[in-house]
Structure 1
Amino acid sequence: MSQDAQQGRFTARELRRGRFEISPADLRPALTLLTGFAPKATREAAELLTRADPGLLVVTYDLAELLDAGTVRRTVHDGRGLIEDERVTLEHGCINCTIREDLLPALVRLARARPASDLALVLPPSMEPEAVTTACGWCHVDGAPVSDALRIDSVVAVCDPATLLETLDSDQDLADRGLHAADDDTRSVSEVAARQIEFADTVLLWAPGSEPDYEHTRLSVLLQRLNPWARHLVLDMPEPSVSATLASRRLAQFSARIRRSGRFDPEAPEPYGRGIEGYAVGCHEPEPDCGVVATLYRARRPFHPQRFHQALPTLTGRTLRGRGHLWLAGQPDLIVAWESSGGGVSMGDMGRWLAATPDEEWEESSPERRVNADLHWDADFGDREIQLAFVGIHFEADELTAALDACLLTDAEVAEGTAAWREYPDPFEGCFESKERNQE
C-alpha cells in the first residue's frame, strides 16, 4: 500500500483498480502463507496462531525425501491436535509437481470440507511463496479454479534474528545444505531468503520474550530497507509469568495483526520488475541507520558491457542485496533483470523495451507500464533506463554510485550510436534468450 493510502489518501491508480471499493463479504476461507528461512520460527508462529484460533487449519510440508524417493510428507493440524499425517509419492519429484499435484488439491479439499475455518500454509525453506501464489492464480482442481474455494489473504515472512544476517550473507547454494528442490536447482541460500522477504506483504521479526536491543533494531531497519512496501511487525509476546488475561489479550492482538489483513495483491509486480511498472524498486537511505545503508541508482544511458562485467565483484561484494533492471549497450533492445546476494549475481531476460517494440505489440504490456513509459519518455533512449536498489551494512553509497557511473557509456561512446555499441566486446553475449532477436 502506498504511503498516501496509509495516511488515508488514495491515488487515482488505486481507486481505478478498485482496491479500496466497498465489496460484499468474502466468505471463502482465507489462506495465510508463512514463509522464511527459519523453519523453527515459522512453525512457532503458526502454533501461536492456532492458540489464538483453535479452528485454524495449519498445513505443513516436509520435502526431505523429495529428491531421493519422490515423496513428500504433508501434515494438517488445528489447535486441538493432528488431523492428517500422510506421505505422498509424486509422479515427478520436484517442487512445482508438489504444488500442483498435492498442495493445491489438499488446500481445496480442506477449504471445502471445513468452509468456516481459515488455513495457514507453512512453507519449507526451499519453496518460494511466489510459486504457490502463481499456481493458485491459474491452476484448477476438479475442473474449478483454486480461487473458487479459497483466497490468499497474506504472505508473511518470518525472520529469526539469530540467523537472519548469516543467511542473507551466505555464499552457499541450497544444495550445500541439502535443501535443493531438484538436481539442477542452483539457487543460493541468500537469494531464496531475500526473495521470501521481498515478496511478502507482511514481515515478522521473530523475537519472543526478548527485550528490545540494538541488534533487533538494526535488523528491523534492515528488513524495512529490503522490503519497504510491506508491513513490518516485531513479535513481542509476553513472558509466561504475566497474567493469563494479559497473555490472552496479547495473543489475540498478534493473531489479528497477522491474519485477515487482505494485504496480498496478486497484481503486484515482481520486486526486480517494479521499476518498469512505475513503482519504486527500493528506498534511498544513504546515511547509515544502525549501520544499515540503502541506495537507489538511476541512469538513462546504458552500461558498457565490458566495464560493467569488470565491476561485478565490487557491486556484489559491498552489499547484501541488489535488485532492479538495467540495459547494456551491446544488447540495447533487451531489459535485463538484476538480482545480487551473497556475493553472487543473477541476470535475466525481461523482454524488450517498448522503444524497441512494434507499436502493434504495445497492448501486450500492462497499462501501468505504458503510462510510466509515456511519462518518462526520453528523446534519445525512449523508455530505456537503469533502476537498481542496493541494501547492505556499512558500505559507502557514494562509492557504489561512482563505481556504477564509471560503467556508463561516455558522451563520446553515446555519440557512436547503437550500431557501434553492438560491436563492443560483450561478456554477456549469449547469456540471455533474447540475444538473437536484438540483432538488426
Structure 2
Amino acid sequence: MSESPLTVILVLGACPPERRTIARQIAGSASALVTIERPMGVDGIGTLVDEAIDALLARAFLDPSPSPRRLVLDCGTTVQPVDAVGAVLARAPEVRLDAVVTAVDASHILQDLDDDRWIGHSADDTIVYTSRAAIVMEQIEYADTIAVTGRQGVEHGRLAVLLALLSHLNPTALVRLADARRPSRYTDSPFDVDRFSGSPGWVSKINGEHTPWIEHPRVSTMLFESARPMHPERLLALFDGPIESRRFGRIVRTSGFCRLASRSTQVGLLQQVGTMLELEPTSFSSADPGAPLGQELVFTGIDVDQPALIAALHDCTLTDAELTADPVTWAGYPDAFTLWLEPLASDQD
C-alpha cells in the first residue's frame, strides 16, 4: 500500500439525483465513487464507511497497477454528517478526510426543511427515529461547501434569499451554485475539525462569531437571552401556535440552551426545524460554574419580526410573582415536553 493516506470526500444531500450528480462530478475519472446508505439492519454508518475504505485499500494492496487514492462517498439521504465524519476520522492516519460537501436543491429546500416525517435506524440494538427535516438541517450546518442545484426556474429574488439563508445556517461554509463545468470548485475548502464543530450558525451566534458570507435584508439570525427560567406551558404554546403559524415570519431554525422552571436543576438543548421541536438534556447542571445562564436561544428565519418575537419570548419567562416562588412550585407547572430520564447510579460513577 502507498504511504500516502487515502483521501475521502463526503457528499451529502436530501435529493438523491442531485447529490449523485455532484458526487460524480467531484469523483471524475481519478477517484473511486461509492454510494452508502444507512439501512434499518445496520448499527450505525461506521460499518459501511469501513467497508468502502477497506475495499479500496485492499485493491491498492493487491493490484500492482495504479489505483485511486481518493474515495468519494455518496452518502444516502438519511446519513448524518457527524456519524459519517466520525467514522472517517477514526481511520486516521491511513485515511484523511478532505471535505464535506452538501448538495441542496433550490427548488424545494424549504419544503425539505418542513418535512415532518421521521426516519428510523438502528443504534445500540434499538430503533431510533430522527426527523427528516433535522437530518437535512444537520447536513447543511456541518458542510464545508454547500452546492446549490436546481436553480433553473427559481426566481432570482427567491434564489438570493435561499443563498443567504444557507449562509446564515452555516456561516463558515462556501455556498456555491452547482456548475458541471467546474466541479473541483466544490472541494476547495479543506476539512478542519475545529471549523466542523463550530460550523452551525446557532453555535457561532452564541459565541459572537456569526458572520455569514451572504446577506439579504429578508434573512436574519437573532440571539434571545434571558436569565429567567421558561414557563414550560407558555413556551410550548408559543412554538405550537404563533411560531408554527408564522405570525412572526418564517422561523426556519431555532436552537440553543434553555432552562425550564419545571426542570430547574438541569440545562436543556432546544432544537426546532420546521414543525419538529425537541428539548433534550445537556450535561450541564444548573449549578455548574460553566453552565449557560438562563436562555441562549438562536432563531434564523425569513421576514422575521424580531421585536414581536422577542416580546413573545419574554412573555414565556417567569413573571416576577412566579420567580419568587420556590422550585417545588415550579416543578408542578404543566410540562408536556418529553420526559428526561434520570441517569442510572452506575452511569454517574
TM-score bracket for the superposition, by shorter chain length: 0.7 to 0.9
Distance in 1 separating the partners of 2:43 and 2:134 = 17
Partner residue, 2:64 = none
Distance in 2 separating the partners of 1:281 and 1:326 = 20
Q: TM-score, normalised by structure 1?
A: 0.65
Give the counterpart letter for 1:58 in structure 2: L
Partner residue, 1:433 = 341
Distance in 2 separating the partners of 1:427 and 1:222 = 31
SS at match of 2:197: coil
Distance in 2 separating the partners of 1:326 and 1:231 = 30
Shift of 1:328: 0.7
Give the counterpart letter for 2:197 in structure 1: A
Distance in 1 separating the partners of 2:199 and 2:160 = 27
SS at match of 2:259: strand
SS at match of 1:426: coil
SS at match of 1:338: strand
Superimposed CA distance per residue, residues 77-105 of structure 1 (whole angstroms, 9 cap, x where no aligned partner) = xxxxxxxxxxxxxxxx1351xx3333213
Distance in 2 separating the partners of 1:208 and 1:236 = 11
Shift of 1:197: 0.5
Pairwise mapping of residues 16-415 of structure 1 onto structure 2 (< 5 A)?
27-51=4-28, 54-61=29-36, 66-67=39-40, 93-94=41-42, 96=44, 99-111=45-57, 113-114=59-60, 117-138=69-90, 146-174=91-119, 180-181=120-121, 184-207=127-150, 213-237=156-180, 247=181, 251=182, 254-255=183-184, 257-259=185-187, 261-265=189-193, 268=197, 271=200, 274=203, 279-280=207-208, 289=216, 291-313=218-240, 314-318=242-246, 319-353=251-285, 355-357=286-288, 373=290, 383-415=292-324
Shift of 1:36: 0.8
Distance in 1 separating the partners of 2:236 and 2:80 = 29
Is 152-161 or 392-401 further displaced after alignment? 392-401
Shift of 1:137: 4.2
Shift of 1:185: 4.5
Give the counterpart letter for 1:38 in structure 2: C
Superimposed CA distance per residue, residues 32-55 of structure 1 (whole angstroms, 9 cap, x where no aligned partner) = 11111111111111221233xx21
| Contact 2:107–2:154 (Cα < 8 Å) also in 1 | no
Distance in 2 separating the partners of 1:345 and 1:227 = 20
Shift of 1:134: 2.3
Give the counterpart letter for 1:40 in structure 2: P
| Contact 1:283–1:294 (Cα < 8 Å) also in 2 | no
Shift of 1:191: 1.6
Distance in 2 separating the partners of 1:391 and 1:271 = 11
Alpha carbons of structure 1 residues 283 and 325: separation in structure 2 relative to 1, 3 Å: farther
Shift of 1:207: 4.6
Q: TM-score, normalised by structure 2?
A: 0.80
| Contact 1:316–1:341 (Cα < 8 Å) also in 2 | no
Give the counterpart letter for 1:100 in structure 2: G
Alpha carbons of structure 1 residues 94 and 56: separation in structure 2 relative to 1, 3 Å: same
Alpha carbons of structure 1 residues 421 and 436: separation in structure 2 relative to 1, 3 Å: farther
| Contact 1:305–1:426 (Cα < 8 Å) also in 2 | yes
Distance in 1 separating the partners of 2:309 and 2:331 = 27
| Contact 1:304–1:407 (Cα < 8 Å) also in 2 | yes
| Max Rg structure | 1
| Contact 2:171–2:201 (Cα < 8 Å) also in 1 | no
Alpha carbons of structure 1 residues 432 and 336: separation in structure 2 relative to 1, 3 Å: same
Distance in 2 separating the partners of 1:181 and 1:311 = 31
Shift of 1:198: 0.9
Structure 1, unpaired ranges of 5+ = 1-25, 68-92, 139-145, 175-179, 238-246, 358-369, 374-381
Q: How many residue pairs are counted as aligned between the two chains?
A: 326
| Contact 2:258–2:269 (Cα < 8 Å) also in 1 | yes
Alpha carbons of structure 1 residues 263 and 200: separation in structure 2 relative to 1, 3 Å: same
Identity %: 23
Shift of 1:404: 0.8
Superimposed CA distance per residue, residues 59-94 of structure 1 (whole angstroms, 9 cap, x where no aligned partner) = 11256xx44xxxxxxxxxxxxxxxxxxxxxxxxx13
Distance in 2 separating the partners of 1:273 and 1:351 = 18
